[in-house]
Amino acid sequence: MAYKRALTRRIVIAFVAITLVVSGAFALSLVYVVHVVEEHLVAEELEEELNQVLARLSKMASSGDSSEGPGLPLEPKTQFYTSGPQGPAIPRSLAGSREGFSEFVDGADAFYVFQQTRHGLRHMLVKEQNEFEQREQALYSGVLAGSLFSILAASILGWLLARRVMAPVARLARQVRHRDQLLPVAPPLAPDYADDEVGQLAAAFDATLGYLRQALERERFFTGDVSHELRTPLMVIASSCELLVETGELTGTQLKQLHQIEVAGSDIQELVETFLFLARGDSRTGDTVARVTLAGAADNAMQRFSAMANAKGQDLKLIVEAQDSGSYNASFLAVVMANLLRNAIHYSDGGEVRLVLVKGGFRVEDSGIGVAAEEQREIFEPFYRIDHARGEGQGLGLSIVKRVCQHQGWAINLRPLDSAGSCFVVDF
Ligand code: ADP
């Protein structure tokens, strides 16, 4: 929505800017032309009038007639001044006027002045121009009002046009936002639009959606296939183990190894379930999913990792600080606990690894190399491994832990330890 508004506003601004430039240029040239024409015409008229006055004066001088003023051919509101004896003297305020045409302002009054020097005498015509000035002001006001009006009209037109132009874009945005795009039944959008840029956008959207649907379909088949194809051999392993036990012919060591095969089989089964849940983004945990208590999951994990810890000369300890009565998704809890314990054992040499159970959660503490503060967020990202990472890991373990925790609404944090090492805390 914000984009659409911004685009509409940008169109209106463009309209107003163009109008401003055009009407501004028009108004300025009009003012300039009026000014030039005024100067030119008035100068010409006054020059002619002054010539007539001077001609009359020289005629009067030659005929000996000394009568002044009324006999001169002067236009109304025009005064003649001269530095010679044949007319009124040039007023002091006009003494500095230049030769030819100029304008003179005296308080609220404005005048045109035309001066000519002949035989060392200055002659001057002064014409009041208040009326013209008023007309000029009226013209300028008209031009200003016209410019303002055209800007207003441009903004209204721009707004109407922008709305019209943006209407299909807005409609497409609404359709994309509101309909359930991933439903295979959702009809394509492109046929609703003209074959213009918006139509092409709709077609591009349809095409992308098509790819997305195909990818989702492939993924759905893949998860279905995986779950089906892996479940069957796992069931075969489990039932074969049972049958072998039932024969009663196995030695103690063989039974132990058979038990390990059974445990590994059920671990794989759990992992498959976990990955399928995560892949589907399924928020249901389902009634059929096995549940386990925190203590139960911890016992399983201890059995599973004690050999690995022993092999590295580590002391793997289970500490119960408080009892927890909750029951949790067995696969998910096993995956989280297993990844944290495996890392704790993997990233420390010797020393102690502690699985500490508290009410509503657990901690996995080790005395290993620890994680630098600036990397404590990144290690939860997929494929992130610290430079000094050891072994063959892919950097996926903690990202799976994080996703499982998010899925279950659990919090996972890395808490600093007073001594060296790491402490991963899971809060249900
Ligand atoms: P992987 O162990 O496969 O590399 P993880 O996602 O489990 O991937 O861990 C990411 C990185 O976080 C590891 O490469 C390691 O550098 C660091 N890390 C994880 N757990 C610990 C730990 N307990 N002590 C020190 N570093 C750890």
pLDDT tens profile 226-269: 777 887 888 888 899 889 988 888 888 998 888 888 888 887 87
- Write the residue with the smallest CA distance to atom 9 of ligand 1: 395
Six-digit token pair at 188?
A: 């394509």
pLDDT of residue 297 exceeding 90:
yes
CA distance 6 to 353: 58
Q: Is 105 helix (H, G, I), strand (E, B) or coil?
A: strand
Q: Is 111 helix (H, G, I), strand (E, B) or coil?
A: strand
Angle between helix axes 330-346 and 294-311 (nearest 10 degrees) is 30
Whether the Cβ atoms of residue 15 and residue 158 lie closer than 8 Å to each other: yes
Whether the Cβ atoms of residue 178 and residue 27 lie closer than 8 Å to each other: no
Average pLDDT, the chain: 85
Most confident segment among 27-31, 168-172, 337-341: 337-341
> Which residue ranges have their beta carbon within 6 Å of ligand 1?
339, 343-344, 347, 366, 368-371, 379, 384-386, 389, 393-399, 422
- Write the residue with the smallest CA distance to atom 25 of ligand 1: 370
Task: Tell how far the Cα of 230 is from the centroid of ligand 1, in angstroms.
Answer: 28
Asked whether the whole model's pTM tops 0.85, one would answer: no
pLDDT computed for residue 232 by the predictor:
82
pLDDT computed for residue 1 by the predictor:
46
pLDDT computed for residue 391 by the predictor:
64
Task: Tell how far the Cα of 9 is from the centroid of ligand 1, in angstroms.
Answer: 51
CA distance 189 to 202: 6
Task: Tell how far the Cα of 227 is from the centroid of ligand 1, in angstroms.
Answer: 28
**Least confident piece of the model among 67-71, 297-301, 336-340, 364-368:** 67-71
pLDDT computed for residue 137 by the predictor:
87
**Least confident piece of the model among 67-71, 174-178, 192-196:** 67-71
Express each pLDDT in 350-397 by its tens digit. Answer: 889 999 999 999 999 998 888 888 888 889 998 888 865 566 677 888
Please choose, from the candidates 106, 77, 76, the residue with its C-alpha nearest in 3D space to the C-alpha of residue 91. 106
pLDDT computed for residue 69 by the predictor:
47
Q: Tell me the C-alpha to C-alpha distance, in Å, between residue 169 and each of 193, 335, 345, 365.
A: 10, 47, 57, 56
